[in-house]
Amino acid sequence: MNPALETALAALRQRFVGELPARLGALRQALAALDGAPRDGLEPDRQTARRTAHSLAGAGGTFGFPALGEAARALELRLDALDETPAANAAAELDTLFAALEAQAARAARGRLPAPPAAAAEPEAAVTNRQTRSIALVDDDISFGAHLAAQIGRFGYGVAHYPSLEAFVAALDDGMPPDAIVMDLVFSEGNLAGAEALLAQRLGRLVDTPAVVVSARGDFAARLAAVRAGARAFQTKPPDLSALINTLDALTGDEPQQPYRILVVEDDALLAEHYCRLLEADGMQALALGDPTRALEVAADFAPDLLLTDLDMPGCSGIELAAVIRQLEAYVSLPIVFLSAEKDFDRRVLAMQQGGDDFLAKPVTPQRLIASVRQRAQRHRILRAHMEHDGLTGLLNHSALKERLALELARAARLGSPLSFVMIDLDRFKQVNDNHGHAAGDRVLRALAQLLRDRLRRTDIVGRYGGEEFGVLLPDTDAATAQQVIETIRQAFAAVEHGTGERCFSVTLSAGIAASPPIDNAETLAAAADAALYRSKHAGRNRVSLHQEAPA
Amino acid sequence: MTLQKILLVEDEPDIRAVAQLALEAVGGFTVRLCESGETALAALAEFDPDLVLLDVMMPGMDGPATLAALRALPVGGDVPMIFMTAKVQPAEIEGYRRLGAIGVVAKPFDPMTLADKLRGLWAAAHR
């Protein structure tokens, strides 16, 4: 299908979905008036209901919602035959048919993977409980806008495309602001009109709404305008869809931003307390440590975003501490800020050479301390996120996951709590790419990543281990519990329909689980989970296996 | 004689829009859209189509009534007409033929193949 036609059809489809609630509302009213009985005087209501059902049947099918069309057709036929059945049955039947139609309309509106059938004794809410997040896409290039809107919509967003700034502002006046905005820059009003519109709205309705600029312009002036308008990201056309979706996910996600964690190493207890209070007052989380020799073990548990350390301490100086910390791979990029009354310039230079990021001279003003710490912690978070995460799925990448495995295993051993590690591999994934294309394959990977994120706890760690391989770390979880959790996920994923219409398909996964205790070594744990995964594959795939100890 | 101009009579705005795309963008036809039988009666002489495509179920004048009314016009005598309907049992198709249609197109239709279907029916009627 040629792209222009595809986008035009997509736009019509969007409109159809948008009008569904109103049409169903009218149908509901007509049915309520009828109440199952074809009395004289109610014939107009019957005809209204019948015609609405008939048109939904036709349109549903035409726009690629066959199930919706069939549900409407069933209701239409029942309304046709209303004279022939006693009133009591009819009312109940019509209710049931209408409920089925509403369910199909809800599915169409969600425009995403349907919720998998609930497993027995499901402890948590179903996967797709999250409300559809709304995106306003403002671009006067009609075909580009419609095309991008359709693409973003495939990832579960409800996208409204506004072909002009006027239309966008008018829509804002009418209703709730969207969850996020994708804004072009160049409009007939001017070459930076998009940014100006954002800025104008920031004081009013859009004060909290995150915006991303997607523009053909990539010059400095354009980027500066975007920054000044408060845009959180900037992409030049054509946008990298994966990156755009990741950005929108991050901007509209419900995970609250975790406070920055600052480890304060200062042997003067009163001073340490003082710094911690200042940082906490600014919304950060601070931990004071008086003994620098314990820094590594404390850092392993606390996972700081920044180390704030005094320079002169008995037992170990701040400079020496920085050098030791930097020996560890995990802390190579950890920001380190020194605090000292040191007036000697050369000593300051030396301190910085040892891997320090800033030097604050005591007595330090609260503003200077907070500003320096916050800015560096924030920068580090952003960089680390880029380094550690897989671009396509937003999950941890292979090396970051392995690091976390070692870290969590050590912590679990210290706390005496169990830890399970799961290796997941999609079954026959090469076939998915071959039969449906790589874009579809990518969407399947993202779908699994999303399902894992939805079904697991905040404290569980999920990573993309390789092409179609995923790794899950479940702290405080023994093997038996892990098996239950992963089994539920296995079933849920197998029930998901990927693709659309005739090209619908499903994908299964195989998994292997290993736990500590008894295994206490990260490499061995990973190998054991892998061996269990291998057994799942060779036993027929689409199953979960536990690592078995080799007979002595 | 080729099929170039199509008069489409359909009351559903959604279906009209998709059919327009299917006929203009895919089929390359020149299309006049009418939302009711009455509008079609007014447009027939001036537009002078090669084919009329009619929805069966419309409020007011339905498809069959529209066909009869169009036929009754001075210029409506031989213009080929095709019905669009969700009911496509063989007996029903025969019924529509007896009313004067040269064929029936099933709803929902595939926008990519509608133009070809119409060409096929039109060609068969002109053999």
- Alpha-helical runs (H) found in A159-231: 165-174, 193-202, 220-228
Give me the amino acid identity at B73.
L
A382 touches chain B (CB under 8 A): no
DSSP one-letter string for B50-102? SEEEEES--SSS-HHHHHHHHHHSGGGSS--EEEEES---HHHHHHHHHHT-S
Residue A117 has pLDDT above 50, yes or no: no
On chain A, the residues whose CB falls within 8 A of the CB of B59 are 51
- Among A62, A63, A80, A143, pick the best mutation site for testing chain B contact (most B Cβ within 10 A): A62
Are residues A62 and B17, on separate chains, in Cβ contact within 8 Å? no
Read off the pLDDT of each residue in A354-363 and give the average, rounded to a whole number: 86
Whether A221 has a pLDDT exceeding 90, the answer reads yes
Give the range with max mean pLDDT: A308-322, A526-540, B111-125.
A526-540
Tell me, what amino acid is at B123?
Answer: A
Structure tokens at B8: 């489409």
Q: CB-CB: which of B26, B59, B107 is closest to A61?
A: B107
β-partners of residue B85 are B106
Question: In terms of C-beta distances under 8 Å and separation of at least 24 residues, what long-range contacts does A102-108 make, across chains too?
Answer: A102/A24, A103/A71, A104/A60, A104/A65, A104/A67, A104/A68, A104/A71, A105/A20, A105/A21, A105/A24, A105/A68, A107/A65, A107/A67, A107/A68, A108/A17, A108/A20, A108/A60, A108/A65, A108/A68
Mean pLDDT, all residues of chain B: 87
Q: Do A59 and B21 touch (CB under 8 A)?
A: no
- Average of per-residue pLDDT across A336-360: 84
What pLDDT digit, counting tens, does each position of A47-99 carry? 888 888 888 887 887 777 878 888 888 888 888 877 766 666 777 788 888 88
Query: Region A280-296: what's the mean pLDDT?
Result: 90
Q: Report whether pLDDT(A123) > 50.
A: no
Residue of chain A nearest B12, judged by CA positions: A55
Size of interface A-B (CB pairs under 8 A): 48
Q: Is A8 in contact with B25 (Cβ distance < 8 A)?
A: yes
Residue B18: closest C-alpha in chain A: A9
Q: How far is A30 from chain B (nearest CA, A)?
A: 17
Q: What is the pLDDT of residue A127?
A: 29
Mean pLDDT of B3-9: 93
pLDDT per position as a tens digit, A233-280: 999 998 888 788 888 888 887 555 678 999 999 998 888 988 998 898
Amino acid letter for position A287: L
The pLDDT of A121-126, averaged and rounded, is 27
pLDDT digits (tens, 9 = 90+) for A167-209: 888 888 777 788 899 999 999 889 999 999 998 887 667 777 8
**In chain B, whose CA is at the least distance from the CA of A48?**
B59
pLDDT at position B95: 82
Q: What is the pLDDT of residue A396?
A: 92
Of B59, B107, B112, the CB nearest to A58: B107
Give residues with Cβ within 8 angstroms of A311, minimum separation 6. A317, A318, A319, A338, A339, A340, A342, A347, A351
Given B14, B57, B59, which is nearest A12 (Cβ)? B14
The pLDDT tens digits for A461-501 are 999 998 999 999 999 999 999 999 999 999 989 988 887 66
Phi, psi of A316 (to 5 degrees): -160, 125
What pLDDT, on a 0 to 100 scale, did the predictor assign at position A120? 28
In the block, which residue shows the tokens 């700034």? A165
Q: How far is B31 from chain A (nearest CA, A)?
A: 16
Mean local confidence (pLDDT), B91-116? 82
Helical ranges in A389-428 per DSSP H: 398-415
CA of B74 vs chain A CAs: smallest distance (Å) = 32
Name the residue in chain B with its Cα closest to that of A10: B18
Share above pLDDT 70 across residues of chain A, in percent, rounded to a whole number: 90
Q: What is the reported pLDDT for A131?
A: 53
Distance from B75 to chain A by nearest Cα, in Å? Answer: 31
Q: Supply the pTM of this predicted model.
A: 0.49
Residue B100 predicted with pLDDT over 90:
no
Amino acid code (one letter) for A93: E
Rounded CA separation B56/B86 (Å)? 9
Per-residue pLDDT band for B107 (boundaries 50, 70, 90) equals confident
With an 8 Å Cβ cutoff, are B111 and A57 in contact?
A: no
The string of pLDDT tens digits covering residues A496-525 is 888 766 778 899 999 999 999 888 899 999
CB contact under 8 A, B108 and A51: no
d(C-alpha A449, C-alpha A470), whole Å: 9
Cβ of B57 within 8 Å of Cβ of A51? The answer is: yes
CB of A57 within 8 Å of any CB in chain B? Answer: yes
Task: Name the β-bridge partners of A267.
Answer: none
pLDDT digits (tens, 9 = 90+) for A309-323: 998 888 898 989 999
Tokens encoding A449:
């990543």
Does any CB of chain B come closer than 8 Å to the CB of residue A144? no
Range with top average pLDDT, A7-16, A33-42, A99-108, B21-30: B21-30
Nearby residues of A263 by Cβ (< 8 Å), 6 or more positions away: A286, A287, A289, A295, A298, A299, A302, A304, A306, A307, A308
What value does the mean pLDDT take over residues A133-148? Answer: 89
Of the listed ranges A140-144, A152-156, B6-10, the one predicted with least confidence:
A152-156
Mean pLDDT lowest among A255-269, A290-304, A525-539: A255-269
What's the whole-number mean pLDDT along residues A147-173?
Answer: 85
Any idea which of A227-231, A331-335, A350-354 has the lowest mean pLDDT? A350-354
Residues in chain B closer than 8 A to A54 (CB atoms): 57, 86
CB contact A15 to B (< 8 Å):
yes
Q: Please check the confidence at residue A124 and state whether its pLDDT lies above 60.
A: no
- Nearest alpha carbon to residue B58 among B8, B9, B107: B9
Identify the closest residue of chain B to A61 by CA–CA distance.
Answer: B108
Please tell me the predicted confidence (pLDDT) of residue A2: 60
A281-295, A335-349, A413-427, B30-44: least confidently modelled range: A335-349
Q: Find the range with the poorest average confidence among A66-70, A213-217, A408-412, B86-90.
A: B86-90
pLDDT of residue B89: 67
Pairwise CA distance, residues A196 & A228, whole Å = 9
